[in-house]
Amino acid sequence: MEGGYVDGGVVDKDCPDGDFIRLEGVEKVFEVRTRTGLLRRERRRVRAVDSISFTVARGEMVGYIGPNGAGKSTTIKMLTGILTPSGGRLRVAGIDPSRERTRLAQRIGVVFGQRTTLWWDLPLIDSYRLMHRMYRIPDRRYRENLDRCVELLELESLLDVPVRQLSLGQRMRGDIVAALLHDPQVLYLDEPTIGLDVVSKARVRDFLRELNAERGTTVLLTTHDLQDIEQLCSRVMVIDRGRLMYDGPLAGLHEVGDSERTLVVDLEREMPPIEAPPARVVRVEGPRQWLAFPASESAAPLVAHIAAACPLVDLSVREPDIEAVIARMLHRLEGAADPAPEGAVS
């Protein structure tokens, strides 16, 4: 796929590649009214996003993660122009999203894992035809994008099926195609693999990797699945209570949080706990043993050591839960010694 058309062929001149998305001290405060008595209501201010600054370069794939209520969706909504920031400065491809939402719409695609943008009762292809018109996509470009996406996501046989009859994985792939028909330069993905089986997850991740490599699409990904981040993003940002807490590689996040992965090994017979520091056996059940080891380290030397020393039948590596990694990282930062760990945002 060649580079995308933008506003009829005009590509940004006023936006350096390194600053494709730029936030400077961005804030969002909601005023909420809560009932405090039978007739009494109180106004409360919720600071959903609290002075966040970061830049994302053109073509980067960045994970944007955090606990529930951290401010992720609010940030994405400001980046799409749905919400106006209460303070700070925000630009996407040189555009102020809340002021020029229509112009920005040509450049961004959004996929919400929990919601579909497709027409429920229409066959998939009809939703795409409607988008073709809505976004005024040139015919040739529409055809090329549709063919390529349908091929990569293996949707050919499903184009005439009404959306309501699609499985979750099929519908998600359908939504991703819909977000890409107009060749956006930026793709916001909110939980794109939620509820998908292993095969569908792999297909979606392969597709996103290929999209990024072929078109250089900039991707901001919100997810609760650590493997999404591991397989797609070289950089991850962690937000908590509206504040950016970490910005760096995933390995660094593991280090800051001291998180651990688990190697599960099946041996030919019951054996005493395997000795393979720095890994340590945390559970033994008959011939199966569980070994915890630092998540920032490769499993390869450990596997090689065990394979040489023990009668190995099978093994698998279990990733730590993303919530656990974040919780440990936040806990560590709250009591952080000086200087702060690398990647931590002060």
Ligand X SMILES: Nc1ncnc2c1ncn2[C@@H]1O[C@H](COP(=O)(O)OP(=O)(O)OP(=O)(O)O)[C@@H](O)[C@H]1O
Contacts of 179 (CB under 8 A, 6+ apart): 109, 110, 111, 117, 187
Residue of the chain from 30, 147, 151, 278 that contacts ligand X (CB under 6 A): 30
Q: Which is nearer to ligand X, 66 or 97 (CB)?
A: 66
DSSP state of 22: E
Q: Is 192 in the site for ligand X (CB under 6 A)?
A: no
Judged by DSSP in three states, 233 sits in: coil
Separation of alpha carbons 160 and 152, rounded Å: 17
Separation of alpha carbons 6 and 248, rounded Å: 30
Smallest gap from residue 300 Cβ to ligand X (A): 34
Q: Is 26 in the site for ligand X (CB under 6 A)?
A: no
Report whether 98 contacts 81 (CB < 8 A).
yes
**For residue 219, how many other CB atoms are within 10 A of its CB?**
22
Q: Which is nearer to ligand X, 73 or 117 (CB)?
A: 73
Separation of alpha carbons 65 and 236, rounded Å: 7
Q: Is 48 in the site for ligand X (CB under 6 A)?
A: yes
Residue of the chain from 51, 73, 86, 231 that contacts ligand X (CB under 6 A): 73
Number of residues that bind ligand X (CB under 6 A): 12
Q: Is 33 in the site for ligand X (CB under 6 A)?
A: no
Residue 285 bridge partners (DSSP): 288
Of 163-182, which residues contact ligand X (CB under 6 A)?
none
- Here the tokens at position 115 are 């919601």
Smallest gap from residue 204 Cβ to ligand X (A): 19
Q: Which is nearer to ligand X, 32 or 38 (CB)?
A: 32
Of 102-161, which residues contact ligand X (CB under 6 A)?
none
Instruction: Write out the DSSP string of 292-337.
Output: EEETTS-SHHHHHHHHHHS-EEEEEEEPPPHHHHHHHHHHHHHTPP
Q: Which is nearer to ligand X, 46 or 309 (CB)?
A: 46
Q: Which is nearer to ligand X, 114 or 298 (CB)?
A: 114
Separation of alpha carbons 192 and 186, rounded Å: 15
Q: Which is nearer to ligand X, 49 or 315 (CB)?
A: 49
Residue 246 bridge partners (DSSP): 238, 344
Whether the upstream peptide bond of residue 278 has omega within 30° of 0, thus cis, is: yes
Smallest gap from residue 75 Cβ to ligand X (A): 7
Smallest gap from residue 98 Cβ to ligand X (A): 15
Q: Is 32 in the site for ligand X (CB under 6 A)?
A: yes
Would you put residue 93 in left (φ > 0), alpha (ψ -120 to 50) or beta? left
Smallest gap from residue 320 Cβ to ligand X (A): 18
Of 244-263, which residues contact ligand X (CB under 6 A)?
none
Q: What is the largest distance, in Å, between two alpha-carbon atoms of the chain?
A: 73
Of 53-72, which residues contact ligand X (CB under 6 A)?
66, 68-72
Smallest gap from residue 74 Cβ to ligand X (A): 3
Q: Is 74 in the site for ligand X (CB under 6 A)?
A: yes
Q: Which is nearer to ligand X, 57 or 194 (CB)?
A: 194
Residue type, position 345, single letter: V
Q: Is 34 in the site for ligand X (CB under 6 A)?
A: no
Report whether 93 contacts 103 (CB < 8 A).
no
Quote the crossing angle between the two packed helices 124-134 and 168-180, to the nearest 10°: 20
Smallest gap from residue 329 Cβ to ligand X (A): 16
**For residue 300, how many other CB atoms are within 10 A of its CB?**
8
Q: Which is nearer to ligand X, 31 or 285 (CB)?
A: 31
Smallest gap from residue 68 Cβ to ligand X (A): 3
Q: Which is nearer to ligand X, 155 or 330 (CB)?
A: 330
Positions that interact with ligand X (CB under 6 A):
30, 32, 46, 48, 66, 68-74
